Structure 1
Amino acid sequence: MSSDTPDLPDDVADRVKNVRVDEEMEQSYIDYAMSVIAGRALPDVRDGLKPVHRRILYAMHEAGVTSGSSHRKSSNIVGDTMGDYHPHGDSAIYDALVRMAQDFSMRHPLVDGQGNFGSVDGDPAAAMRYTEARMAPIAEELLTDIEKDTVDFEANYDDRLTEPTVLPSAFPNLLVNGSSGIAVGMSTNVPPHNLGEVIDATIHLIDNPDCTVVDLMEYVKGPDFPTAGNIVGRSDVKQAYQTGRGRVRMRAEYHVEEGKRNESIVVTELPYQQNKSKLVERIADDVRDGKLEGIRDLRDESDRNGVRIVVELKQNANTDVVENRLLESHLERTFGVINLALVDGQPKVLTLKEMLEEYVAHRKEVVRRRSEHDLAEAEDRAHILEGRLKALEEVDDVVDTIQNAEDRDAAKEALKETFEFTQEQADHIVRMQLGSLTSMESAEIEAEYEDVTARIERLNEILGSEQELLDVIKGELREVKDEYDDERRTSFIEDAGTVTDEDLIPEEDVVVVLSEGDYIKRVPADTFDAQHRGGKGIIGTDLKEGDRVSTVFSASTHDYLLCFTNQGQVYRLKVYEVPEMSRTARGTSAVNILDLDDGEEISAVVTADDLDFEAEDEFLTMATRDGYVKRTNVSEFGNILSTGIIAISLEDGDELADVEVTNGASDVILGSEHGMAIRFDENDVRPMGRNARGVRGMDLEGDDRVAGVAAVAPDDDRTLLTVTEFGYGKRTNLSEYRKQSRNGKGLVDIKTGDRNGNVVSLDTVADDDNLVAMSEGGQIIRMPVNEISTYGRNTKGVKVMDVEEGDEVAAVSVYNPNAGDDEDEAEEETEAEEADE
């Protein structure tokens, strides 16, 4: 052993304590957690303050930085607080001081700040050396009577001073200003409330101790946020008050302003704790990314008078839809209520009633201790006044006794022996000045004695009667309300449930146009006036150079569609999600709506609203360009991902041509580009899964390909409409297409060649249907199908659309403009029948 090694006591090994590491860490962590919970992060239920806030206010009180004093540098206040009471760093203290001065954070700020104390844009406060502060008037109500032994004090961190463990709190600050904080394993989030409502509820609780939370809600309507705004519905508030936990939906206040050409949505109040600049930034990001359509401009016009965010809409934008999407993503927030506070030093989740009960119990203790303190002082003063009055009655003898005494002590003893004064009375009489022996002074002493006697009697009444003590609490609460109450800021609006865009968009027939360059738009169908057969139509879309129309289909804005692509994928699409644009507009990028790959085009559209995804006898019958046919039960398409799912497997070079809905008892007609058609029973094709390729449906010759598929119901009185790429077409009675076995060559449907070109589409139509045809160059025509004559098979047909040289018909769609009227009439008839029953 080294000679430098100190000698160790013989019993050093006996003093070493062996402990388990896990037990030591567990206990240390619990100690740390309780220190954070009780000493830093959670408010006391009695005054609603965390230790740092309480210490800041008490340090200002001790330094005389009250509402009546001049402002003091914040750095001075922070220094006093840190040096005397809160040794945890200046930044934490200053952050707490700043929050108490922010009128957008506190319902009633406790600090009157001067300088930059931050903003709703999230701007930080200026450095503490630049700002000044003093106590707000309402903060003094928290410290009223603290010098009258109303609360307990404890030694500060270095035992030089004492600090209050809680403030007297003349109003329920925890509910009025709320609190938030994260401790270890728990957090608190108490919303702010209206001062007048909380005080009225407290008084009601005092008068009716057996009242319920629902009774108290007659007074406390709900949170009252400093930034105003709205609360959606009352049920969530009720749950939060009854259980101590809940989620309150907050909504911004906004209105629609009419402009010369367009409308604007103007936001004037924000949800609590909403960062205004980040809100504007997120809206701008969504507009740029295409998530928010219909917004032309976004401006923050806020000033010292309040918030004003202007969302200017495009001329053709649907205001209700933009408003709804703003609500979904930006203008609504949820406030998670957790009424967790310290009760007797222990964290506890409290109901509204329990919070008020704890406060009332605290005020009873404060008023009792204050009354005892005042009573002791009054009794001491009465005792002195009794001595003075007795001395005045025998003033000559008292003066002689004092004059004959050798010194003050002897005079006191003589007074005690001669006149039976107590020590305190004798001390006071000896210190009396001769001027106090006048008759006027005597009258004043008698009046003061009467006042003190009456005060003693009143204090004894308060201490001797629970009801008198409660009346004092109620009276003081009313005084605070009269002084500081203001109007409620946060309003309630009814919860109308989830409003979808579909609820806000009028149901109407539209034409959806999609180009090879992945531009998409929808246009109201009535934009295109019905024309006679053979017209050129009008411009339906403005295409970029080199782009062409690939798909056009008719639908209702409320339709939910299954969109099948040439690559065998199927996507879902809600028609109202496609932006509505003018007839000549190019459209918006389709990638924001449909996740199509390069070269992928929509080849068929099926309205999902008409499908029963649980039906066993409902199928989607698909046809490929190479003549394959497949039937799949609709149940396999009930859950389609946003990225699409496989509808059919295709061989290399093959594409999906068309899709029809069949019911297990239909016939299927396949039509080819070279004008051939084959009709066969759909049951010739057995049902298969989505990943199957299908079976041969048509034997194609040469380079012929399938153009489309049509479903024919038994006794179907419709006709088969065939349209070619150069704008010719015809209708043919279905009876002319005899049934064959699948995989045959079929019969001639329409003559193709130099005049007609290849077949573009075929479909079954009724006499009251409308046809919409669009060329690759963007020309569009709408006409009643009964304008197209009925011809037999193997004919050339008539001109349907006058297509310019170099242009071709890209797509044809059929819809019934009276379908909605028929449904409305059916609903009315059903309602009338039910009413009769």
Structure 2
Amino acid sequence: MGQNLTPPSGDGGDHILPVDLKAALEERYLAYALSTIMHRALPDVRDGLKPVHRRIIHAMSEMGIRPNSAFKKCARIVGDVIGKFHPHGDQSVYDALVRLAQDFSQRYPLVDGQGNFGNIDGDNAAAYRYTEARMTDVAALLLEGIDQDAVDFRPTYNEEDDEPVVMPGAFPNLLANGTSGIAVGMATSIPPHNAHELCDAALHLIKHPDATIEKLVDFIPGPDLPTGGIIIDNRESIIEAYKTGRGGFRVRAKWETEDLGRGGYQIIVTEIPFQVQKSRLIEKIAELLIARKLPLLEDVRDESAEDVRMVLVPKNRTVDATLLMESLFRLTELENRFPLNMNVLSMGRVPKVMSLKDVLTEWLAHRKDVLVRRSRFRLAAIDRRLEILGGLLVAYLNIDEVIRIIREEDEPKPVMMERWSLTDIQVEAILNMRLRALRKLEEFEIRTEHENLSKEKAEIEALLASDEMQWKTVAWEIQEVKKKFAKATPLGRRRTQFAEAPDADVEAIQQAMIEKEPVTIVVSQKGWIRALKGHISDTSTLTFKEGDGPKIAFLAQTTDKLLLVTTGGKVFTLGADKLPGGRGHGEPIRIMVDMENDQDILTAFVHDPQRKLILASTAGYGFVVAEPEMVANTRKGKQIMNVAMPDETKLVVPATGDHVAIVGENRKMLVFPLAQLPEMSRGKGVRLQRYKDGGISDIKCFAMDTGLSWEDSAGRSFTRNKDELLEWLGDRATAGRAVPKGFPRSGKFAG
């Protein structure tokens, strides 16, 4: 039988070892974090590639799929990558391959795809059994010299093959194509740049290693995105981002107006920001249109074919195109921010955030290293060939003797080695020589080759000995790359432009985002607020919660700002379009703003930036404030009048005319010039009228020429002119005189 079926002897113990959970978790999580950082999410600064991309290109190179060879099925490429180099899911590898082929994702695609590789609308590529691919010239540049010991190789995951640790990288791929990735505890995000500009900056850096970032930004003014667009950041913020390696770029869609004749026009968007899906963008605009958030826009259409063409139809021909676009930039991804976080693997080992100069410097150092390694490799090859040529020359000069030895000796090798003091390699070459090579001409060819190789050897040795020559050669290589991707070529042409954002009026833009409709604002005594559609003059029919009733009702437009003043001297600002509708009882104002519990709403009104108001407190203090000073853009509101309990803010009246009439609860009236009141943006104010006991009852501003008027409870009007008001006229903060005859019992100027 040979198979033991008896159970093993033992004490039945299951050999469980106690492990400290914290230590075990730390060790495992650290291993995971390191593998994510090093082998998945962050690119190497030298070739700008993450491992999956490097393995895809290496696999294509191994399969012989060069830029000039035939296309091969992506299924074969993916199979090779996951079978030999990258033990991960086939879909993740194929997705990475597809991205390398998309000209709207990669500024300089590394893969030349044939078939459906997806589009800017976010549609997926066809399955890998249908698509084909080969390398582009950019990928070939990245590989240049890989078979000449330019870089180190390491064993693959199953140690059957070798793979490059980094590519030779003759193309400035990290900055040219950009990258983004999320590791553990760190992320990277680099936008694509223009290769011509990067080469110019690198050449400058070779000549001036201590060049400043400001100087480099002269060559590289900013990213060059595959989808074009317009960057609207200023030079200072771009320099700052490149200095620190962190920042961002605001990218806007490129648009123009198209004349439809008779004064009509439509807006055409021809370029959208990088990594924005066009179909999703149009859906978002359509949603905002339906939600009536874009009152200036009538319709949006997609008329794109090969090129992007989004049509935006304005509501009417009087709409300002810039204003319409500004409102769209605020609400949609027609303006997008692309983050910059140059977190890369420095020297392939250390993740760190690098500046633009650091990145270029490391790439140049790598190029120099590759040059030296390739030169040494070539030198070794030349030495080997020269050795062989020396042996062949000996054979030619003594050809008859060589033939004799080979014919007569049992072991010709040692005999020849001894006879002409040749090396093993030289004799092997002689013995392997074909008879055809015994032509007369061959000796001359050998001498010429020997001469040429000796010359090349001297050149390489000179190169390896001189730092200056090495940099010269690196510069020459970069010049060649620059020629290939110059701005004059279709691929090298700069796509992204720069512009200052137009100075649009913020108020006007906010108005442009709200549909203008009439509403009636109603505030209840308990502080509930609602906005009824339309202008309702009779609000007596409105219902309120039990124990509640109407307090203030006024007419407004949805585009208006409302100011709410509390008894504690605070002012809150609400947009009329943000209020709950007229169905039901509305909502408590306290939900919308941070109001203190011991304070109530004193009054509410439509904000008029041209107007000035007088604020007065119960104790008889007050001042003038300009309305724009009262606007608060946060939930916290703005403290305008400083009052302490039991004193409260009591009155808010428009500051018009040139005089102020004030009445106290003691029924004494005082009239004084408005000029005696200070204008402040916050404070307690000055004393308006002096009281022994009681406080303020009412206040009114008027023009002395037209006189002071009031209404009694019966609705009769009274007016007193300047002469009739003489006995009440005085200075601010005096006590005043008893009210004139016919003044309302309520102590108010209006009945």
Whether TM exceeds 0.5 here: the answer is yes
Query: Which residues of 2 match residues 271-350 of structure 1 at below 5 A?
Result: 271-330=273-332, 331-344=334-347, 345-350=349-354
Q: Kindly indicate whether the alpha-carbon contact (under 8 Å) linking 2:230 and 2:499 is maintained by their aligned counterparts in 1.
A: yes
How far has the Cα of 1:282 moved from its partner?
1.6
User: Structure 1 residue 257 and structure 2 residue 258: aligned?
Assistant: yes
The equivalent of 1:711 in structure 2 is 701
Question: C-alpha separation between the residues in 1 aligned to 2:518 and 2:510?
Answer: 23
Residues 682 and 294 of structure 1: CA distance in aligned 2, closer, same or farther (over 3 Å): farther
* Amino acid across the alignment from 2:632: N
Question: C-alpha separation between the residues in 2 aligned to 1:606 and 1:430?
Answer: 104
Query: Which residues of 2 match residues 16-415 of structure 1 at below 5 A?
Result: 18-232=18-232, 233-260=234-261, 261-330=263-332, 331-344=334-347, 345-406=349-410, 410-415=411-416
Question: C-alpha separation between the residues in 1 aligned to 2:104 and 2:92?
Answer: 19
How far has the Cα of 1:194 moved from its partner?
0.6
Question: C-alpha separation between the residues in 1 aligned to 2:564 and 2:702?
Answer: 22
Q: Kindly indicate whether the alpha-carbon contact (under 8 Å) linking 2:45 and 2:345 is maintained by their aligned counterparts in 1.
A: yes
Deviates more, 1:291-300 or 1:52-61: 291-300
Question: C-alpha separation between the residues in 2 aligned to 1:338 and 1:49?
Answer: 16
Residues 274 and 734 of structure 1: CA distance in aligned 2, closer, same or farther (over 3 Å): farther
Question: C-alpha separation between the residues in 2 aligned to 1:603 and 1:34?
Answer: 60
How far has the Cα of 1:91 moved from its partner?
1.3
The equivalent of 2:743 in structure 1 is 746
How far has the Cα of 1:279 moved from its partner?
1.4
Q: Kindly indicate whether the alpha-carbon contact (under 8 Å) linking 2:663 and 2:697 is maintained by their aligned counterparts in 1.
A: no
How far has the Cα of 1:747 moved from its partner?
7.9
- 1:283-340 Cα distance to aligned partner (Å, 9 max, x none): 2222222222211111111110334343434234233321221222222211111101
- 1:421-451 Cα distance to aligned partner (Å, 9 max, x none): 2221111112222332223223222222222
* Amino acid across the alignment from 2:446: I
Q: Kindly indicate whether the alpha-carbon contact (under 8 Å) linking 2:612 and 2:624 is maintained by their aligned counterparts in 1.
A: no
- 1:112-137 Cα distance to aligned partner (Å, 9 max, x none): 11122122211122222222211112
Question: C-alpha separation between the residues in 2 aligned to 1:35 and 1:697?
Answer: 77
Deviates more, 1:437-446 or 1:277-286: 437-446
Q: Kindly indicate whether the alpha-carbon contact (under 8 Å) linking 2:268 and 2:309 is maintained by their aligned counterparts in 1.
A: no
Q: Kindly indicate whether the alpha-carbon contact (under 8 Å) linking 2:295 and 2:315 is maintained by their aligned counterparts in 1.
A: no
Question: C-alpha separation between the residues in 1 aligned to 2:604 and 2:720?
Answer: 25
Mark the runs of 5 or more structure 2 residues left unpaired by the alignment: 487-491, 522-530, 536-552, 587-602, 641-649, 673-683, 687-693, 729-736
Question: C-alpha separation between the residues in 1 aligned to 2:723 and 2:582?
Answer: 41
Question: C-alpha separation between the residues in 1 aligned to 2:297 and 2:718?
Answer: 45
The equivalent of 1:470 in structure 2 is 471
Mark the runs of 5 or more structure 1 residues left unpaired by the alignment: 522-549, 575-590, 613-617, 623-628, 648-655, 671-677, 689-693, 699-708, 724-728, 749-761, 764-837
How far has the Cα of 1:189 moved from its partner?
0.4
User: Structure 1 residue 660 and structure 2 residue 654: aligned?
Assistant: yes
Q: Kindly indicate whether the alpha-carbon contact (under 8 Å) linking 2:573 and 2:631 is maintained by their aligned counterparts in 1.
A: no
The equivalent of 1:533 in structure 2 is none
The equivalent of 1:443 in structure 2 is 444
Question: C-alpha separation between the residues in 2 aligned to 1:682 and 1:7?
Answer: 113
The equivalent of 2:632 in structure 1 is 639
The residue matched to 2:128 in structure 1 has which SS? coil
Q: Kindly indicate whether the alpha-carbon contact (under 8 Å) linking 2:323 and 2:504 is maintained by their aligned counterparts in 1.
A: no
* Amino acid across the alignment from 1:349: V
Question: C-alpha separation between the residues in 2 aligned to 1:393 and 1:343?
Answer: 56
The residue matched to 2:300 in structure 1 has which SS? strand
Query: Which residues of 2 match residues 580-591 of structure 1 at below 5 A?
Result: none
Q: Kindly indicate whether the alpha-carbon contact (under 8 Å) linking 1:669 and 1:712 is maintained by their aligned counterparts in 2.
A: no
How far has the Cα of 1:561 moved from its partner?
6.7
The equivalent of 1:673 in structure 2 is none
Work out the percentage of aligned pairs sharing the same amino acid: 36
Residues 209 and 553 of structure 1: CA distance in aligned 2, closer, same or farther (over 3 Å): closer
How far has the Cα of 1:662 moved from its partner?
7.5
Question: C-alpha separation between the residues in 1 aligned to 2:607 and 2:162?
Answer: 79
- 1:734-756 Cα distance to aligned partner (Å, 9 max, x none): 448756857985389xxxxxxxx
Question: C-alpha separation between the residues in 1 aligned to 2:260 and 2:706?
Answer: 50
Question: C-alpha separation between the residues in 2 aligned to 1:620 and 1:142?
Answer: 77
Residues 188 and 512 of structure 1: CA distance in aligned 2, closer, same or farther (over 3 Å): closer
Residues 595 and 641 of structure 1: CA distance in aligned 2, closer, same or farther (over 3 Å): farther
Residues 9 and 159 of structure 1: CA distance in aligned 2, closer, same or farther (over 3 Å): farther
Tell me the TM-score normalised to structure 2 length.
Answer: 0.75
The residue matched to 2:655 in structure 1 has which SS? strand
Tell me the TM-score normalised to structure 1 length.
Answer: 0.68
* Amino acid across the alignment from 1:357: T
Q: Kindly indicate whether the alpha-carbon contact (under 8 Å) linking 1:176 and 1:193 is maintained by their aligned counterparts in 2.
A: yes
Paired residues, number: 644
How far has the Cα of 1:419 moved from its partner?
2.2
Question: C-alpha separation between the residues in 1 aligned to 2:639 and 2:429?
Answer: 104
Question: C-alpha separation between the residues in 2 aligned to 1:295 and 1:317?
Answer: 9
Question: C-alpha separation between the residues in 2 aligned to 1:235 and 1:266?
Answer: 31
Question: C-alpha separation between the residues in 2 aligned to 1:696 and 1:378?
Answer: 107
Question: C-alpha separation between the residues in 2 aligned to 1:161 and 1:721?
Answer: 101
Question: C-alpha separation between the residues in 2 aligned to 1:372 and 1:241?
Answer: 36
Query: Which residues of 2 match residues 431-580 of structure 1 at below 5 A?
Result: 431-485=432-486, 486-494=492-500, 500-502=506-508, 518=532, 562=563, 572=573
Q: Kindly indicate whether the alpha-carbon contact (under 8 Å) linking 1:301 and 1:310 is maintained by their aligned counterparts in 2.
A: no
Question: C-alpha separation between the residues in 2 aligned to 1:449 and 1:219?
Answer: 45
Question: C-alpha separation between the residues in 1 aligned to 2:572 and 2:316?
Answer: 29
How far has the Cα of 1:100 moved from its partner?
0.5
Residues 503 and 19 of structure 1: CA distance in aligned 2, closer, same or farther (over 3 Å): closer
The equivalent of 2:691 in structure 1 is none
- 1:538-559 Cα distance to aligned partner (Å, 9 max, x none): xxxxxxxxxxxx97799xx9x9
Q: Kindly indicate whether the alpha-carbon contact (under 8 Å) linking 2:42 and 2:344 is maintained by their aligned counterparts in 1.
A: yes
The residue matched to 1:44 in structure 2 has which SS? coil
Question: C-alpha separation between the residues in 2 aligned to 1:640 and 1:359?
Answer: 49
- 1:345-381 Cα distance to aligned partner (Å, 9 max, x none): 1211111111112112212221111111111111111
Question: C-alpha separation between the residues in 2 aligned to 1:658 and 1:597?
Answer: 27
Query: Which residues of 2 match residues 689-728 of structure 1 at below 5 A?
Result: 711-712=701-702, 716-718=704-706
Query: Which residues of 2 match residues 419-438 of structure 1 at below 5 A?
Result: 419-438=420-439
Question: C-alpha separation between the residues in 2 aligned to 1:321 and 1:600?
Answer: 36
- 1:143-174 Cα distance to aligned partner (Å, 9 max, x none): 11111111111111111111111111112211
Q: Kindly indicate whether the alpha-carbon contact (under 8 Å) linking 1:595 and 1:643 is maintained by their aligned counterparts in 2.
A: no
The residue matched to 1:66 in structure 2 has which SS? coil
How far has the Cα of 1:140 moved from its partner?
1.0
Residues 518 and 158 of structure 1: CA distance in aligned 2, closer, same or farther (over 3 Å): same
